[in-house]
Chains A and B, each alone.
Chain A
Amino acid sequence: MTDVQKPDVQKPDVQKLSYIAAQAADARLNVELETEGMTLNIGPQHPATHGTLRIIVRLDGEQVIWAEPGAGYMHRGYEKLTEVRTFPQVTALVNRIDWLGSFANEVPFILAAEKLMAIEAPPRAQWIRTILFELSRIANVSLFLGDLGVQLGAITPVFMAFRDREYVLNLIESATGGRFHPNFDRIGGLKEDLPAGWIIETKQVMKKLRNFCDEIENLLFGNEIFQSRLRGIGVIPAEVAKQYGLSGANLRASGVDWDLRRDQSLPLAYDKVDFKVWTHPDGDSFARCWIRLQETREATKIVDQLLDGIPSGSVMAKVPRIIKVPEGEAWVSTENPLGEMGYYVVSKGDLGPFRVKIRSASFNNISIVPWVLRGVYVPDVISILASLYFILGDIDR
């Protein structure tokens, strides 16, 4: 594997300054020419919006002066539905929130239920959970890396992404039985153990995925057009990112060193492996994409380390056949592919939860759009949205 480069701090400054100067010049021109504003609707059905997100932008010349995303085309009311389900049934629902990394959605909910019940999954189950969690991150983010090219006019990367994501999906399918919606996590452990030969196969796939990352890095990230479309565009300072509750790669791209895998104590196997949490000082679109590339690589290394040390034993703790969760409140969040995903679970000692507040990453990540789109040019709207990376199901829940 090649050594990853240090972020180039000098270059974006020049770009950023020239961009700001161009913006100011254009704004002056608009005033001189007395251009009329116009309202442009991007979406709901638009190839650049990853689904049915509508973005209303008001333009002055080529510049956006006001933007507002219109979410809600996919609201399914999961918070209401969880109130009429039993605890084990909820995982089937929350699978559908971020559908590219489904397994990662189940884990925080199950951990919250386990916290309330004061039980812990056996070590083997924790390790397999962590492996599947990272696999779903790879499946999710590798599609982002391919899709990124499409948003900017490069078609090739998406075929590579779909090719290599397929290997990961096959792994998830052979372990859990579901390619997209595993529904594999149980309170107290996992549904089943890993199939024979899975570990060796996974190691080979991780090698392929690292190659894929190198390919994408060579093909996209070094590309001049790619860099000029992303560097210095859509800059989010750390203070603003924290105010809006940005999480995951979007937050780390603004220079905030915060990763819930490392920075909190959960019954998952992250404390048994060494990994680097990548940050980037720039906070622009390029930084966000670059962080995700590094994280995919880091995830393959985490999986490799975990595969070497899976403990033996059962994958299911002793839990009652009918699960009643004791009264209480619990908050558990994990570092999902899109960012911080958490569940605030309130139980009244019943078969089902009393109230579940689902804190999904994309909801916060997209709420910054009106702030960050102010003053940018129309083509940058697409690249900024692509770099913020959202899944519609994760916004609307």
Chain B
Amino acid sequence: MREPGPLWRRRLLWAVVPLREGVVTALRDALGDGLVDSLIKPDDDIWVRVSGDVWQQAGRVLRDTVGCDYFCFLSAIDWMPSPYGRGEDDPTQPAPERDTAIKQGYTGGNTRMQVFARVTNLQQHFGVTIKADVSDSAPTIDSWVSVYAGANWHERECHEMFGIEFNGHPDLRNMYLPTDFEGYPLRKDFPLLARMVKPWPGIVDVELLPGDSGDDPAVEGDA
């Protein structure tokens, strides 16, 4: 077996924390109050949240100042807990009470839906996950197509799946769904109809064995 070769020393760059702080500093210098929150997890990743009106500008700063010229993906998250749970309710019984409190993930947030994207710096080997709030009533945000050309299809997908409008996008046609499709499938309040009409048989997979509390570490953890 060989020792890690010289090529592999490059990967150590991922662990450099000052580099990551430099990303947040660069964004704060350029955006001011537009940078709402940031989170740096050592040995993991960088998350930043910007306000919606500087979304496009933040993309430019990431591309030109921070050097993240590689576009990875763009999508959205609906933070509302699903009113249908995991679709395992018995259709003959009344629906159980569910927690409806909206709780955002890393770097917080104030709205139900957030747009998030990821870009990578290929020279210095780090990626940045950037989020922005979009309003609940009319979810709209500036398009990234003029910053990263690859955002085009991602924004089309995000538009039809979440109903988010992208200002300045050349062509927000549906990619997957029929043109007259109603509703936004990846929103949490869109029911997964296959689960509504027929109970899911997979529930038995996690049934406890007799005398098993479920929390003990088992060597054959074949859950």
Instruction: Give A residues with C-beta under 8 Å from B.
Output: 71-72, 75, 77, 79-81, 83-86, 88-89, 115, 186-188, 191, 239-240, 242-245, 256, 258, 262-265, 271-274, 277, 305, 308-309, 314, 316-323, 327-331, 333, 340, 342, 344, 346, 348, 351-352, 355, 357, 359, 363-364, 367-368, 371, 396
Contact = CB atoms under 8 A, between A and B. Distances in A.
B187 to A, nearest CB: 10
Nearest to A274: B5
B69 interface: yes
A342 B74 CA distance: 12
Contacts, number: 176
Contacts of B75: 344, 357
Interface string B47-86: 1000000000000000000000111110101100110001
B150 A243 contact: yes
B151 to A, nearest CB: 9
B77 A89 contact: no
A191 B122 CA distance: 35
Interface in B179-223: 185-186, 188, 190, 192, 195, 200, 202, 205-206, 208-209, 212, 214-223
A262 B8 contact: yes
Contact of B176 (A72, A88, A262): A72
A84 B209 CA distance: 23
B26 to A, nearest CB: 19
B72 A342 contact: yes
Contacts of A272: 1-2, 4
A333 B14 CA distance: 14
B111 to A, nearest CB: 15
A320 B212 CA distance: 11
A271 B11 contact: yes
Contacts of A305: 2
Nearest to A350: B86
Contacts of B122: 242, 256, 258
Q: Is the interface of B mostly helix, strand, loop or mixed?
A: loop
Given A274-B2, A329-B106, A264 B14 contact: yes
Given A84-B200, A346-B105, A364-B150, A243 B86 contact: no
A110 to B, nearest CB: 13
A141 B159 CA distance: 33
B45 A243 contact: no
A207 to B, nearest CB: 21
A83 B86 contact: yes
Contact of A351 (B116, B175, B186, B206): B206
A332 to B, nearest CB: 10
Question: Which 3 A-B residue pairings sit nearest by Cβ, starting from the closest?
Answer: A244-B150, A72-B176, A319-B221
Contacts of A363: 153-154
Contacts of A319: 217-218, 221, 223
29 contacts: A75-B177, A77-B185, A80-B186, A86-B205, A89-B205, A186-B221, A186-B222, A240-B149, A244-B148, A244-B149, A245-B73, A256-B122, A265-B43, A274-B2, A305-B2, A309-B1, A316-B221, A320-B223, A321-B209, A321-B216, A321-B221, A322-B206, A329-B47, A340-B72, A346-B77, A355-B77, A357-B75, A359-B73, A364-B71
